[in-house]
Amino acid sequence: MNLMVQSLTTVDRAFAALADPTRRAVLERLGGGSATISELAEPFAMSLTGMKKHVRLLEEAELVTTEKVGRVRRCMLAPYAFEGITTWLQRLDRFAQVVERTKGER
Amino acid sequence: MNLMVQSLTTVDRAFAALADPTRRAVLERLGGGSATISELAEPFAMSLTGMKKHVRLLEEAELVTTEKVGRVRRCMLAPYAFEGITTWLQRLDRFAQVVERTKGER
DNA sequence: GAGAGACTGAACCATTAGGTTCACTATAGC
DNA sequence: GCTATAGTGAACCTAATGGTTCAGTCTCTC
């Protein structure tokens, strides 16, 4: 079942990427400036291969951009990274606030 | 490995909950008003049991509240549902904007 | 009070996700 | 040129996820 291949949108990928705590930590780290795969992997005691896979997902979600310079891959927060999900959330957030506002009114 | 049991935070759960497209669709639906498990399940041609599990996750993430009235469970968007993740995102978003702003400056 | 309807929980199943190791490629630096 | 370093890809493993069915329970409604 579920043959809904239907090319995931960037927002789909972004939400999926943010689900993992390791990847969120990577984003926080990149908030402080760019880093290499090795640098990102080190604090998690994770293999380079493992971190590389996380970074690839973050790239596909357009949350991170990378650039290979020499033998090193430099990773950085993508500009406008959170635009899509922020928009999605704001729309829903308006509804949640309406819920709150109308709570006393019964 | 990864014996970091360490009781997930609400924000952890919220991001995990938002990763699933079905659950996001449920939230959008609830943005338009409360609904029962049956009503939520119907558009996905999903079993009630399946939908119930999604709703439980959304509740644990404090994105949704429910109330059993008679034999029906009424589900609604939680007030302040998105506060936690919005805060997290805004912090990171500031960094992403800095990235964008400094791009021309090399 | 009997039957239908709405949900619930337990058990199960297939796929995905997060991680590993191993073998390999491509630079960097002496 | 040699060796160490940084990253990569393929293959594999395990646990978690998203779903199901089946067998209840509880509540309407006639």
Q: What is the pLDDT of residue A4?
A: 43
Find out whether A78 and B96 touch, Cβ atoms under 8 Å: yes
Confidence of residue B68 (pLDDT cuts 50, 70, 90): very high
Greater model confidence, A68 or A96 = A68
Q: What is the pLDDT of residue B8?
A: 84
Average confidence (pLDDT) over A4-30: 90
The reported pTM is 0.89
Q: How many CB atoms lie within 10 A of CB B51?
A: 22
Q: What is the pLDDT of residue B101?
A: 65
Instruction: List protein-proximal bases of chain D (any atom < 7 A from a CB).
Output: 5-11, 17-22, 26-28
Find out whether A67 and A74 touch, Cβ atoms under 8 Å: yes
Find out whether B59 and B17 touch, Cβ atoms under 8 Å: no
Mean pLDDT score of chain B: 89
Q: How many CB atoms lie within 10 A of CB A55?
A: 22
Greater model confidence, A74 or B102 = A74
Q: What is the pLDDT of residue A98?
A: 74
Q: What is the pLDDT of residue B106?
A: 39
Across chain B, the runs of DSSP E, i.e. the strands, are 35-36, 64-69, 72-77
Which residue pairs from A42-49 have beta carbons closer than 8 angstroms and sit at least 24 positions apart in sequence? Answer: A46/A22
- Inter-chain Cβ pairs, chain A and chain B, closer than 8 A: 82
Whether B92 has a pLDDT exceeding 50, the answer reads yes
Q: What angle do CA B18, B22, B27 make, to 5 degrees?
A: 60
Average confidence (pLDDT) over A62-85: 96
Average confidence (pLDDT) over A71-86: 96
User: Quick check: helix, strand or coil at residue A5?
Assistant: coil
Q: Which nucleotide has the shortest C1'-to-CA distance from A35?
A: D6
For A2, what's the count of Cα atoms within 13 Å in the CB-facing half-sphere?
4
Distances from the Cα of A11 to the Cαs of A8, B9, B63, B85, B95, in angstroms? 8, 23, 19, 15, 19
Tell me which residues have their CB below 7 A from strand D: A 2, 36-38, 48-49, 52, 55, 68, 71-73; B 16, 19-20, 22, 44-47, 49-50, 53-54, 57, 69-72
Q: Which two tokens stand for residue B73?
A: 């469970």
Average confidence (pLDDT) over A5-13: 81
Confidence of residue A48 (pLDDT cuts 50, 70, 90): very high
Which residue lies nearest C18, CA-to-C1' measured?
A50
Mean pLDDT score of chain A: 89
Tens digit of pLDDT for each residue in B4-47? 445 789 999 999 999 999 999 999 999 999 999 999 999 999 99
d(CA A61, CA A94): 25
Give φ, ψ of A82 to 5 degrees.
-100, 10
Confidence of residue A7 (pLDDT cuts 50, 70, 90): confident
Q: What is the pLDDT of residue A101?
A: 65
Average confidence (pLDDT) over B90-101: 80
User: Quick check: helix, strand or coil at residue A24?
Assistant: helix
Average confidence (pLDDT) over A85-94: 93
